[in-house]
Every structure is written in structure tokens, then in C-alpha cells.
Copies of this chain bind each other. A is one copy, B any other.
Amino acid sequence: MRQVAVVGAGVSKFGVRKASYRDLIWEAGKACLDSVPGVKPGDLQGLVVGSVMPERTAFQSHISSLAAEALGIRPSALSARTEHMCASGTVGIRYAYAFIAAGLADLVMVLGVEKLNQPSGEEAILNMGTGVDREWEAAFGLTAPPCFALAAQRHMAAYGTTEEQLAMVGVKNHNHAAKNPTAHFQKGASLDQVLCSRMIATPLRLFMCSPITDGAAAVILAAEERARDLTPRPVWIRGTGQALDGFQLTSLHEDYAHWPALKRASESAYRMAGIAARDIDVAEVHDCFAIAELIAYEELGFCEKGAAGPFVQAGRSDYGGDVVVNPRGGLIGCGHPLGATGVAQAAELFAQLRGEAGARQVPDAAIGLTHNNSGMGEHVVMIYGRDPS
């Protein structure tokens, strides 16, 4: 199997954007191409686009071809859109990664994009229901916020996790986002602000939830020899894992505060990379809701099961702690344009592991992890690493 590296990355401004899919694609794609002087659009052999619901928000499928044309790319090896709800972007990275690893392509762009606020934010909230089982769950109101609220309540009951500890995830990620010029929110937040924000699904308050965001992100992946030609500082894909426990909430394990599929996905990725959880310097985890970040600490092995509340409270997931989690602001601070999220996480690690993350730089970051869930029972993990220095 060939080694594969990220050699370029770009991100659009995230937010409620007066922009079309095409505008967002162009913004992120151009930023990505500009980051690798040696690559012109015509050099790319393929394009994979992660996107969840352009059919609903733009009456448009076939978006990988639209994106290729917008960017001047003429795929000669692969072109596809991937969708796996909130993990769509990372699932796209895995498509291109497998193609390059197998020797079927050498240089491929992966782009994630979502224009959710279309025609309105209210419509977007309805559209988000497509990610849940329509016939058996979404139709009865069991969409994402109540599901994750159940997990939070269970975690509080089982482990004594407090509302303040949940809020601290919101504070950390809003404050990180304040240093990220592409983030949806850039004002930071105090503990009081988070705890006094509107209740969405008990105990999850507004500032503990990711917003409805428009945005795009792109990375360029290259086979080993090509990567070394293109940049002195490639960022390698070291490992990956994906696992599923179930789709319907009712088919999950009995205890919603345990996510065994995430544990299995991360163990696969660690094994492939030949590392352990303690080796991770920086992690982009899927904080769609604050409880998701806490449970991720545990299932990823950053702390013992049940210890995530004290872990965030002690600052162990912040700068100066054991592992910096969500330096770009996470889904809570940056926003969560579904298909774009996994690719934006990869773009952040590309910057972090090259020492180019500016005010957000994690000192001497060498190994990073990204995590996405697309429901509480479905997880995907990637491990990225720089060359040993």
C-alpha cells in the first residue's frame, strides 16, 4: 500500500453566507489550490466532494461534476460525491485515500461543501431531519438534539458530569473560534454566557450546540513520491478507522453514554498508525453537541470512561493540557456545514502539523486526529502525522 499525504488545504469563510454552492466551492477550492504552487487544476486526476443535501437546499445532485467544472478540474481517474451525513467529508477523504493508496491515482482533491441556510435557517432545521431514520424516528421528533440530550443526561446520571462541565466545552470552543478568522462565531464566550443561553434539549443549551452553517473546505492528497516533490512538509495519513453500532437510536447499545463504535474506530486507526491515544498532540473531534466532545475524550482514550467532565474542567483538553481538542473552534464555534466539516478538520491539522496555525498553533504538534460521528452509533477516525523532525 502506498503512503498518502495531504499537500494543500483551503477553507472558505464559515457562517450564514449569501453564497451559492458554486461560490463556496470556488472559495475553498481556490484557497486550496493557492496553497500548493506546484499544482494547477489540470494536474488533478480526480475530485471527491463530500456533501449531504444539495438535493434539498439547491435542487442539485451531481455536485462533484459541478465542482470540477467550477474549479477547472477534469478528472481522469475519479470523480464522485460521498454522503454519510455529518461524516460525509471524511468519508470523501477516505475514498481518495484508498484510490491513491491502491495506486489508482496520484493527485486528488477532496472538497466538502454545504449551503444549509437555504431557503432559510428554519427550513435547514427541518432538512437536518433527513439524517435520522425518517419512517421510524425523525417523523416523531427524534432528531439529533434530543438524541444527544439523552446521552448527556445518561452521562450526568452515571458519572456525575455537571452542566458546568458541559458548558466548559462550549466556552473552550467558542474561545478557540475567536482566533480563527474563518469560524462562524468569533466573539468567544464566558461560562455565564453559555450557562444562560437558551435551552435547546435539556441539558444542552444553545452555546453547547453547533449552529446551522454554510461553508466549504478542500484538501489535496498525493501519493508519496508526488507529495515529496510538491512540498517539503507533507502531512501523512497514518491511520483510519470506521465503525457502526447502529442507525436507529433504539438499535444502539443500552447505555447512550457509551459509544463502542467510536472505541473500535479509533483502535483501528491507532493500530494502523502504530500509536496510542497518548501520542495525539491535537485532535479535531465532532462536537456537534458538547456531550459528544466529552464522550469522545473517553472513547478515544484521552481519559478513563466517565472522567471527561473533570478532564475538560482541569484544562487537559486545552492549550497546555494533555491534548488540544478543537483548536479551530470545533463544530460549536466554527459551525457545522455538514459535508465541509471533516475536510475543514483535515485542513486544520494540515496547518497545525506544519506549524502554520498562527494564533491557534499547538506547540510542536506532530500527530493529530480527526473524528466524526454521524449519529451516536457511527464513527470515523483519521490519524495524520508530519515527518519525524
Partner-B contacts on A (CB < 8 A): 1, 20, 22, 46, 52-56, 58-66, 68-69, 74-85, 91, 94-95, 98-99, 101-104, 129-135, 138, 240-248, 251, 264, 268, 374-375, 378
Contacts and interface: CB of A to CB of B under 8 A. Distances in A.
A135 B22 contact: yes
A227 B241 CA distance: 23
B245 A59 contact: no
A385 to B, nearest CB: 18
Contact of A65 (B76, B81, B82, B247): B247
B84 A62 contact: yes
B22 A75 contact: no
Nearest to A70: B247
A135 B60 CA distance: 9
B82 A81 contact: yes
A62 B375 contact: yes
Given A62-B374, A75-B242, A78-B242, 18 more contacts: A20-B135, A52-B61, A55-B130, A61-B85, A62-B132, A63-B83, A68-B247, A74-B243, A74-B246, A75-B243, A76-B242, A76-B244, A78-B94, A81-B82, A98-B99, A98-B104, A102-B102, A104-B240
Protomer copies: 2
A interface SS class: mixed
Contacts of A374: 62, 65
User: Which of A65, A131, A243 is most buried by chain B, counting CB atoms within 10 A of its CB?
Assistant: A65
Nearest to A78: B242
A220 to B, nearest CB: 18
Top 5 closest pairs, chain A to chain B, by CB: A98-B98, A102-B102, A101-B102, A65-B247, A62-B85
Contact of A133 (B66, B243, B378): B66
A79 B242 CA distance: 7
Contacts of A20: 135
User: Which of A53, A99, A240 is most buried by chain B, counting CB atoms within 10 A of its CB?
Assistant: A99
Contacts of A99: 94, 98
Contact of A60 (B81, B130, B242): B130
A244 B103 contact: no
A121 B181 CA distance: 47
B131 A246 contact: no
Contact of A80 (B60, B83, B129, B375): B83
A58 to B, nearest CB: 6
User: Which of A63, A91, A98, A247 is most buried by chain B, counting CB atoms within 10 A of its CB?
Assistant: A98
Nearest to A56: B55
A80 B342 CA distance: 14
User: Which of A46, A77, A83, A91 is most buried by chain B, counting CB atoms within 10 A of its CB?
Assistant: A83
A202 B54 CA distance: 31
A65 B217 CA distance: 24
